[in-house]
Copies of this chain bind each other. A is one copy, B any other.
Amino acid sequence: MLGRSARQIRSMLRARSSVSLSTGQDVELTSQRYPDLRRKPFGQVGPSEIARFQAILDSNRVITDPTELDGYNTDWMRISRGQGQVVLKPKTTAEVSQILRYCSEQNLAVCPQGGNTGLVGGSIPIGGNVSTNAGGLRLLRYGSLQGSILGLEVVLPNGEILDCLSQLKKDNTGYHLKHLFIGSEGTLGFVTKVAIQCPPRPKAVNVAFLGMTSFESVLRTFKEARSNLGEILSSCEFIDAEAMKCVTGNLELTCPIDPQAFYMLIETSGSRSNHDEEKLTEFLEALMSDGTVVDGTVASSEAQIQKIWPLRERLAEALLRDGYCYKYDISLPLDVFYDSVIAMKERLGSRVIRCIGYGHVGDGNMHLNITTKEYDDQVMQLIEPFLYEWTSHHKGSISAEHGLGFKKRNFMHFSKSPSAIKAMKQIKAVFDPQGIMNPYKVLPDNE
């Protein structure tokens, strides 16, 4: 059984080492929280395997010290905890290739790990923006990674180096293989090089922080922003009242306007500050004069802007201060966008500390979060699969950007057709016939 073996089989590959190595021993083992998950028949890591890894890498890039392993085995939310026995830190494509060829020969399972900041249990023990394809705060302006990644180099599970490292904006010579790896959460291969198209840095940035009394006003503000700010609109975020209470209360941040039912952060990025300010000012005057926006402030200097963004950016961190956080990241058509939060609030009532909604309203992407003091299985049973069914019923996606990882893999059918799931399993079999690459993630378990 996964997690019961003293010599746990997953070796972890880390391309970056920026994560803090705090101890994770107070976090429940994922294998204990999910006791029904059967370990697949992979090989085991023992002294001869360690010796081979040390022959490929310097000894100081083969980590087996249990205390040091803790940081890699536990995610930053302190919700998932694995039992990898060795962490490998390759520096070159050739090293990754040698490691994977050996793991493939020995049938050793591998978990690629980047910054270990995944939110769906995919990185214990997925890594990197490319593998997760998270959209972030400015997808609205710059599009998804699928549109801006020019090329990739990937090491396949058998050690073969797949060179798709085009650096051209346009290249229609055959199938666009790179897209299979973008968002595959480390289950098809290990991304070793990325060519990405960078937009020019904007010369002028303005941020407006606005308050409104209804979600209808949020939607109207977005529509007007899209129409009147057009090409300079670079972010359109919303935060509900309870989310604002969370981030101000738990992190001692200050809201720059009076309390409202909803808040919006609207950012413009352009090439001429006087043009941008004129557009933004006229846009705000129109919305305030008709009552859509009831309060607001505009920041143009870097210092002012840096006081506003944390109210949105640090919400994930603020939620963890409540204790345990049930994280959902769903795409929904805008006409039912906030209904998802209302439905969950009604269902959960006083069993939870809070149920909040915030996120990328400009992309139709809701971050719905629920907190309790400690993990509560009854609360979990009330949330899942109810929220997935609700999302599927409203033609949404159960994961807009966080991926499926470990926690959501068996719910894929709520967002994907049987024909698509079948095709994904066929693709997996092409690139990873042994299934050693980040097992128990993304693809649903076989019945």
* Closest partner residue, chain B, to A427 (CB atom): B175
Residues of B within 8 A of A202 (CB): 230-231
Known: A226-B200, A230-B200. A175 touches B164 (CB 8 A): no
If A163-B420, A331-B169 touch, does A180 touch B183 (CB 8 Å cutoff)? Answer: no
**Which of A132, A177, A426: most chain B CB closer than 10 A?**
A177
Are B230 and A412 touching (Cβ within 8 A)? no
Q: Which of A98-106, A213-221, A267-275 contacts B (4 or more CB under 8 A)?
A: A267-275
B contact residues around A427 at 8 Å (CB):
175, 177, 427, 430
Whole-angstrom distance between the Cβ of A34 and the nearest chain B Cβ: 20
User: Is A247 interfacial (CB 8 A cutoff)?
Assistant: no
A182 touching B176 in the complex, CB below 8 Å, given contacts A162-B419, A227-B200:
yes
- Using an 8 Å CB-CB cutoff, how does the interface string of A350-389 with B read, 1 for contact, 0 for none? 0000000000100111000000000000000000000000
Task: Tell me how far the C-beta of A398 lies from the nearest C-beta in chain B, rounded to whole angstroms.
Answer: 6
Name A170's contact: one of B179, B231, B365, B417 (CB within 8 Å).
B365
Contact indicator B270/A230 (Cβ below 8 Å): yes
Is there contact, CB below 8 Å, between B399 and A172?
A: yes
For residue A14, give the distance in angstroms from its CB to the closest CB of chain B.
Answer: 22
**C-alpha gap A389/B175 in the complex (Å):** 21
In the assembled complex, A144 has its CB within 8 A of some CB on chain B: yes
Contacts A144-B147, A271-B228, A423-B430 hold; do A401 and B172 have CB atoms under 8 A apart?
Answer: yes
Whether the pair A163, B364 counts as a contact (CB closer than 8 A) is: no
Distance (whole angstroms) from the CB of A154 to the closest CB of chain B: 9
Are the CB atoms of B170 and A144 closer together than 8 Å?
A: yes
Residues of chain B within 8 A of A134, CB atoms compared = 172
Contacting residues, chain B, for A228 (C-beta < 8 A) = 271
| Residue A96 at the chain B interface, CB threshold 8 Å | no
**A203, A272, A396, A398: which has the most chain B beta carbons within 10 Å?**
A272
Q: Which of B169, B272, B279, B365 is within 8 Å of A364, CB to CB?
A: B169
Task: Report whether A363 and B170 are in contact in the complex, using a CB–CB cutoff of 8 Å.
Answer: yes
Q: Please measure, in the bound complex, the distance between the C-alpha atom of A138 and the C-alpha atom of B179, giving whole angstroms.
A: 22
Give the nearest-CB partner of A144 in chain B.
Answer: B147
A343 at the interface (CB under 8 A from B): no
Asked whether B166 lies within 8 Å of A176 as measured between CB atoms, the reply is no
- 0/1 interface trace, chain A 261-289, chain B, CB 8 Å (1 if under): 00000000111100100110000000000
Instruction: Give Cα A415 to B324, complex, Å.
Output: 50
Beyond contacts A144-B170, A173-B415: 9 other A-B pairs, Cβ-Cβ < 8 A, are A135-B170, A162-B417, A170-B360, A171-B331, A174-B420, A174-B421, A177-B427, A203-B230, A426-B430
Residues of chain A whose beta carbon lies under 8 Å from any beta carbon of chain B: 132-135, 139, 143-144, 146-148, 160-164, 166-177, 179-180, 182-184, 188, 200, 202-203, 226-232, 269-272, 275, 278-279, 331, 360, 363-365, 395-404, 408, 412, 415-417, 419-421, 423-424, 426-428, 430-431, 442-443
Q: Which 7 A-B pairs have the closest CB atoms?
A: A147-B147, A179-B179, A230-B271, A163-B417, A171-B397, A170-B400, A168-B331
